Chain A
Amino acid sequence: MTTPVLSVRNLTVEIPTRAGLLKPVDGISYDIAAGEILGVVGESGAGKSMTGNAVIGLLDRPARIASGEIHVNGRRIDRLSRKELRRSRGKEIGMIFQDPLTSLNPLLTIGDQLTETISEHLDVSDGEAKARAIHALEEVGIPAARDRIDAYPHQFSGGMRQRVVIALALCAEPSLVIADEPTTALDVSVQAQITALLKRLCRERGMAVMLVTHDMGVIAETADRVAVMYAGRLAELGPVRDVITAPMHPYTDGLMQATPDASEGATRLRQIPGAMPRLGSLPPGCAFNPRCPYTQDRCCQDPPPTRDVTDGRAACWFPLTEHAAIPA
């Protein structure tokens, strides 16, 4: 087997608080291969962004990686110094966040930001850096890139800014891209443009992409595999079609049933009762047990092991084997 671009093993992130130690990410393992898009879904607070930030080495204090290993192209990166990480970011790992404005410097032209990043990571002349910057903008579909390169971020629309952010994330040709809700703030038409762009670039360049989103439809259309997170743990991992059409974890099934479907009219939506527990007050056993329609005694005592959640295995004592029919 070829080495995956990203390999995460038993990653745990801790936040010490007065109320005790919180684990927003708790024993997560997954791989992403070259040319593959891994979707990461789950309700807000599930730990999706924390997982991404841990991989890029951008955890805000006091959050810290407590255990586990992160390898990019076979090289361990969770022990790197800040300086080494900074180099790795941009060159090996590109980042795209929800709000394009936070990733762009309002005081610099688009062109300056691109050439700066390119020169920092690639050994090229100024002229070559500029040519590459223009090419990067053309690649993400900015019309008249040669003229727009001297524009400032505020002179672009929201969709155009997100394209610039993508150009910036990809201009040093990283092999791994972490995209955290890259289209959540955008209109559907622009969302469709951006996801099509990500898919094309992933395919053409053989990048590995971690796509964090809470939108099941986006996952279905964009991802090759999907990781479902709940309360900091992996609930289920697998090929996107399997997970969506035949989920094994009751939480995945609940998410699917709750999502309104455009092909159906006014039917009653299946709701998951309650809300995700706060990290400080997780129930004993399986964290999903207060909301799960299949809970049994064992679920309230022992947590199902998340360690060996791999393709086709869910962290659940009683996984759904077929497409579940939840008793109404």
Chain B
Amino acid sequence: MPLDQNADPLVSIRGLTRIFDVSKPLLNRIVERLPKRLLTAVSDVSFDVPERTTYALVGESGSGKSTIGKMVVGLLNPSEGEVEIEGINLASETDPDKIEQVRSDIQMIFQDPYASLNPRWRVRDIITEPVRIRGGETDGLAEKLLEQVGLSAVDAIKFPHEFSGGQRQRICVARALASEPKLIVADEPTSALDVSVQAQVLNLMSDLKDEFGLTYILISHDLTVVRHMADRIGVLYLGRLVEEASPDALFTDPKHPYTQMLIEAAPRMDGFGREIVPPEGEIPDPISPPPGCAYHPRCPIAVERCSQERPQLEWKGQSRVACFLAE
């Protein structure tokens, strides 16, 4: 089952790769005779997101989640590969009208609701900005959106500091909705919030998805959040997709040893006195990842082949898995 059989996805990502140059400044490098240092943050990632679905990217810190998110919304250029949204590749499209159309169809929500709102702007101006810069109609827009995200129209004249973290994240959601996008990329939208408030924001995102037919790419390190929200989940390790499955399949029958470890290690509300054998090691340095399967130094079932050859992401039933030993 090649990926291409998916009927007309809203987002289609093929061979997406991003390499960062993290060398010291040129002069230091010459003086200290250091080689160039390249960090491959994202490597050969391909997936589709059908319209009106939520695709979640999970993985530990540094696995490349945010880098993929930024490439999808066009904040960062891919080193290789492409992102197509509604069939249009922003990096190579030349028709300015098409570029403009796609750009207004995508919005992003960030982790930190404190840092992502300009403290000197009134909430009305913050929310309507994406529409204003395109010369759109903004009369009454902020008030309407504030009510849609569970705040009140009178909040439009307030400043960000008058709101709690959860309320600020609602303002971010309202701003993201202002240009009537089709796709919202949400990068850890609730990681800075308390669970009680997280529940408010996640429920709001679900409601808006149904109401406006939104498509989400949800980035999170929290497997339980992802399980609640996603239609499909991609697990990243050191910049590569190692498994992709539906939430049920991923949680009841994880196929990649890394996914199995993540699920086993996540703390459980019913895990009273649970003793787990803690996972081995930590994520290796992404500048010099291990050869073969990047997970092999930590993998409890690794065989010799794993350190020599890299497993490809292949279909196993309804999942895609990159492991030689996956059933």
**A-to-B contact residues, CB < 8 Å:** 43-44, 157-160, 187-193, 195-197, 199, 214-218, 220-221, 240-241, 244, 254-256, 258-273, 275
Contact = CB atoms under 8 A, between A and B. Distances in A.
A217 B271 contact: yes
Most buried by A among B195, B199, B203: B195
Interface in B229-269: 229, 247-248, 251, 261-263, 265-269
A199 B225 CA distance: 26
Given A220-B271, A220-B272, A271-B203, A260 B225 contact: yes
Contact of B199 (A191, A197, A258): A258
A221 B272 contact: yes
Contact of A271 (B199, B265, B274, B276): B199
A266 B247 contact: yes
A199 B274 CA distance: 11
Given A259-B269, A262-B224, A271 B200 contact: yes
B211 interface: no
Nearest to A45: B194
A256 B269 contact: yes
A258 B221 contact: no
Nearest to B192: A44
A265 B196 contact: no
A143 to B, nearest CB: 10
A140 to B, nearest CB: 12
B37 interface: no
B203 to A, nearest CB: 6
Which 5 pairs, one residue from A and one from B, show the smallest C-beta to C-beta distance? A217-B267, A272-B196, A269-B199, A192-B265, A187-B60
Contacts, number: 139
Given A158-B61, A188-B262, A221-B274, 4 more contacts: A187-B61, A197-B278, A260-B227, A267-B228
A238 to B, nearest CB: 13
Contacts of A260: 199, 202, 222, 224-225, 227-228
B46 interface: no
A217 B278 contact: no
B255 to A, nearest CB: 17
A24 to B, nearest CB: 17
B97 interface: no
B266 A266 contact: no
A188 B269 contact: no
A209 to B, nearest CB: 15
Interface residues of B, number: 46
B283 interface: yes
B261 to A, nearest CB: 6
25 contacts: A43-B197, A44-B194, A157-B282, A187-B221, A187-B283, A188-B60, A188-B223, A192-B276, A216-B269, A218-B267, A220-B270, A220-B271, A220-B272, A241-B272, A255-B195, A258-B195, A259-B224, A259-B269, A260-B225, A260-B227, A264-B227, A266-B247, A269-B199, A271-B203, A275-B167
Nearest to A258: B199
Contact of A188 (B221, B248, B271): B221
B116 interface: no
Contacts of B198: 258, 269
A265 B247 contact: yes
B206 interface: yes
B164 interface: yes
B279 interface: yes
A193 B275 CA distance: 11
A265 B228 contact: yes
B266 A217 contact: yes
B269 A244 contact: yes
Contacts of A159: 282
A192 B269 CA distance: 14
B78 interface: no
Contacts of B202: 260, 269
Contact of B228 (A196, A199, A266): A266
A155 B202 CA distance: 38
Nearest to B248: A265
A222 to B, nearest CB: 8
A43 B164 CA distance: 12
Contacts of A199: 275
B166 interface: yes
B270 to A, nearest CB: 7
A269 B279 contact: no
A253 to B, nearest CB: 11
Nearest to B166: A275
A160 B283 CA distance: 12
A261 B203 CA distance: 14
A262 B223 contact: yes
